[in-house]
């Protein structure tokens, strides 16, 4: 019996050792794809829409791109990009999984990240945000993804950004979160509340990180023909830009921002979005 038990233990140690070796090899392989001579961007929610357009833009610019998505195996468009670009690394990440966020940050210890783009976001069910049918769980889900997750990403990757040349953190907000705007649309209450909260969260992060030279920027993409818009505000689709058009504008704004940035919310076209 003791020898049988010992054999089982040895087999398990061998299995775990093999898994650890495979993970280490994968990590080393990914790190080898990061060109230290080029800037690096980490983008959340990279599998479609605005996130995917950000990936395409920065790949074309020659940046190292760390593209994260909840399910890489089903991110077909992102995987196709990975086949054609050596400077793209795809990582699994659910931004609401705090342990995974910390593990990913640890995996890239020592890798400067010039630009962190908090793009991942959800709208939540339409009916669940209307007065008369408010759903508390939907509220918590929207706030977790749209507000808490960007804060935790910043917390986890502060040292990576601080070690970089560009030192920029960008969170994608929305005009829907404007409190002082002339008009407030009906519907999507939780989404709008989450973006208003995100704006303050990023102001707080900017105040905390400013002394380290890190610029925390809020930028609105405008109306964009994403799945989110099609599903929840289809009447606005005819007026919307393509993801590529929006990202081209946002990337130009991001490139221009320096230490003189006045902390206002920037629109993709360079205009100012009301708080």
Per residue in 16-48, pLDDT (tens digit) is 444 444 343 344 445 547 899 999 999 999 999
Compute the average pLDDT of residues 148-171.
Answer: 98
Q: Are 255 and 261 in contact (CB under 8 A)?
A: no
Tens-digit pLDDT profile for residues 163-202 = 999 999 999 999 999 998 767 777 899 999 999 999 999 9
Round to whole Å and give the CA distance between 122 and 196.
Answer: 14
Question: Angle formed by the axes of helices 98-107 and 149-162, to 10°?
Answer: 10
CA distance 69 to 9: 36
CA–CA separation, 87 vs 66, rounded Å?
A: 9
For the residues 109-130, what does the mean pLDDT come to? 96
Instruction: Return the C-alpha torsion angle 76, 103, 112, 156, nearest 10.
Output: 110
Reported confidence tier of residue 237, pLDDT bands at 50, 70, 90: confident
CB contact at 8 A, 267 and 222: yes
Sign of CA dihedral 81, 237, 174, 231: negative
Query: For position 19, what pLDDT does the model report?
Result: 40
Report the pLDDT value the prediction gives residue 199, as an integer from 0 to 100: 97
Write down the pTM of the prediction. 0.86
CA distance 201 to 174: 14
Residue 85 has pLDDT above 60, yes or no: yes
């Amino acid at each position: 019996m003791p020898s049988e038990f010992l054999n089982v233990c040895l087999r398990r140690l061998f299995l775990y050792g093999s898994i650890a070796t495979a993970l280490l090899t994968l990590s080393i392989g990914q790190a080898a794809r990061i060109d230290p001579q080029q800037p690096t961007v980490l983008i959340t929610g990279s599998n479609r829409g605005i996130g995917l357009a950000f990936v395409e833009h920065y790949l074309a610019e020659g940046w190292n791109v760390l593209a994260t998505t909840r399910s890489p195996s089903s991110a077909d468009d992102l995987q196709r990009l990975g086949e054609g670009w050596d400077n793209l690394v795809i990582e699994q990440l659910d931004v609401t999984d705090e342990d995974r966020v910390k593990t990913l940050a640890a995996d890239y210890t020592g890798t400067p990240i010039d630009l962190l783009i908090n793009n991942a976001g959800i709208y939540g069910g339409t009916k669940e945000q209307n007065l008369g049918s408010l759903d508390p769980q939907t509220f918590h889900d929207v706030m977790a993804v749209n507000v808490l997750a960007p804060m935790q990403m910043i917390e986890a990757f502060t040292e990576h950004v601080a070690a970089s040349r560009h030192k920029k953190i960008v969170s994608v907000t929305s005009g829907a979160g404007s409190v002082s705007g002339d008009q407030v649309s009906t519907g999507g209450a939780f989404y709008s509340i989450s973006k208003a909260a995100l704006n303050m969260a990023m102001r707080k992060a900017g105040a905390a990180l400013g002394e380290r030279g890190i610029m925390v920027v809020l930028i609105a993409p405008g109306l964009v023909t994403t799945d989110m818009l099609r599903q929840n505000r289809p009447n606005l689709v005819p007026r919307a830009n393509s993801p590529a058009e929006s990202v081209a504008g946002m990337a130009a704004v991001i490139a221009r921002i320096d230490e003189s940035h006045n902390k206002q919310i920037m629109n993709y076209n360079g205009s100012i979005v009301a708080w």
